[in-house]
Structure 1
């Protein structure tokens, strides 16, 4: 028998947002432990993915040893591949996940999206030819790090209800990782205001986000671009 759970950490670190409808509408319907684990795994992993749209490859399920171990524990006597396929099909049939088949440079591939506004928009954009997925490798499940709420409180200011709503909306529009990186950039540039964070996100959305900006920002000159360039309109004085 495993050791008893020692309790959640009292800090706001490592918090993942789950839709209220999950508890009020979805959870009462799910009667299969494997499907429940897969659904929560999707929340956990998609939270860590950058980009305009967040999605999973089949390999993001099958090649994650920790997830497959949890899944196999629900039906030890069943073939793991068969169990995974059945569980994904349950989530698709329930409407939790959405599926689309695409042709990538590595060959035909199935992509899975959460059934959210952004997930539905991604599939529409994909089918209309206005967007193509660019992530061909399995996602790496990263160790926990400070989330946007904790970063904002620790480095910029009080987490008021308005700011909390702004962060939630920005995470939905840009991804949680982008919001966290933009807050870090605001701290590095010593422009500690939400409007600056929002301007950073807008520029990344319109001009692309360089890989080095994820960890270290892009220096003082880029900071001036937000304050005096075309993105200055997004920044409150």
Structure 2
């Protein structure tokens, strides 16, 4: 079993779940695959934009994250996925619509919410077509580490005072600036937030890339080791 390092500090993205999921659905679901598929579809639908919000079987079958969680003895992941969808539809968690275009058949799944029920009813009455809802791949989204994670990974523990400074920096500077400033600090073997902050302040005052193309590597390196922070660096 792989260990989980825990949720990072600072802002993290989240997926809301209705309270009824915990009081009515969760106690009733006795199949792990059904539970995983149900939760994954909550996550997918929350990330979608546009109308109607639904997910296709084709999209689910191409979702590497979902299929990895359905591996196990017995059935193949795709087969476990189909069985889990059947159970979720039979339970009433999901609504299933089949759209036929010529010889092609597309299976679509909606969450059994008020919006989902109204969309399905419009489809059945011919008032809404699914051609406009494009099934896209569900790649693993690699989130950029936030400033708190970067600090903990590269500098050390976060004190309350540092936490306030990090919040201010996150609101003031672009994320890529913060990442690059920390990388520069590590290259100079400096693990102090004051030094990272001095780089950010210099970029904000002088322009991040001003004159960069005219400087040589050694001059560019020494640009960050002048002034009151020079004592922290060996050169």
Do they superpose with TM above 0.5? yes
Instruction: Note the alpha carbon deviations across 1:6-41, whole angstroms, 9 max, x for none.
Output: 222343431111111100110000111111100110
Contact 2:62 2:138 in 1 (8 A): no
After superposition, the C-alpha distances for 1:164-199 in whole angstroms (9 at most, x for unaligned) are xxxxxxxxxxxxxxxxxxxxxxxxxxxxxxxxxxxx
Give the CA deviation at 1:137.
3.0
Partner Cα distance (1:54, 1:117) in 2: 12
Aligned to 2:56: 57
Contact 1:48 1:142 in 2 (8 A): no
Q: How far 1:142 sits from its partner (Å)?
A: 5.9
What is the RMSD of the two structures over their aligned residues, measured on CA atoms? 2.2
- Identify the range of structure 1 (6-15 vs 43-52) with the bigger mean alpha-carbon deviation: 6-15
Partner in structure 1 of residue 87 of structure 2: 90
Shift of 1:130: 1.6
State the match for 1:221 in structure 2: none
For 1:80 and 1:13, the matched residues in 2 are separated by 29
Aligned to 2:152: none
Does residue 6 (structure 1) correspond to residue 5 (structure 2)? The answer is: yes
Structure 1: give runs of 5+ residues left out of the alignment: 147-237
Structural mapping, 1:71-90, within 5 Å: 71-73=70-72, 76-90=73-87
List per-residue Cα deviations over 1:131-159 (Å, max 9, x = no partner): 1121233343462669xxxxxxxxxxxxx
Structure 2 equivalent of residue 33 of structure 1: 32
Q: Label 1:137 to 1:38 Cα distance change in 2 as closer, same or farther (>3 A).
A: same
In the alignment, what sits opposite 2:194? none
Distance (Å, rounded) in 1 between the aligned partners of 2:5 and 2:105: 44
* SS of 2:134 mapped into structure 1: coil
Give the distance between the partners of 2:114 and 2:104, measured in 1 at CA.
28
Rounded to whole Å, the distance in 2 between the matches of 1:6 and 1:109 is: 39
Q: Which residue of 1 aligns with 2:44?
A: 45
| Distance apart, 1:72 and its partner CA | 1.6
Q: Specify every segment of 5 or more residues in structure 2 that has no aligned partner in the other structure, as ranges.
A: 145-235
* 2:221 aligned partner: none
| CA distance in 2: counterparts of 1:11 and 1:144, whole angstroms | 17
Match of 2:134 among 123, 133, 136: 136
Equivalent in the alignment of 1:111: 108
Higher RCO (CA 8 Å, separation ≥ 6 residues): 1
Q: Does the aligned pair in 2 maintain the 1:34–1:87 contact within 8 Å?
A: yes
Q: Is the 8 A contact 1:14 1:144 kept in 2?
A: no
In 1, Cα distance between equivalents of 2:66 and 2:112: 21
Deviation at 1:60, TM superposition (A): 1.6
Which string of whole-angstrom CA distances, capped at 9 and with x for unpartnered residues, describes residues 34-53 of structure 1? 11100110011111111121
Matched residue SS, 1:51: coil
After TM superposition, give the deviation of residue 80 of structure 1 in Å.
3.0
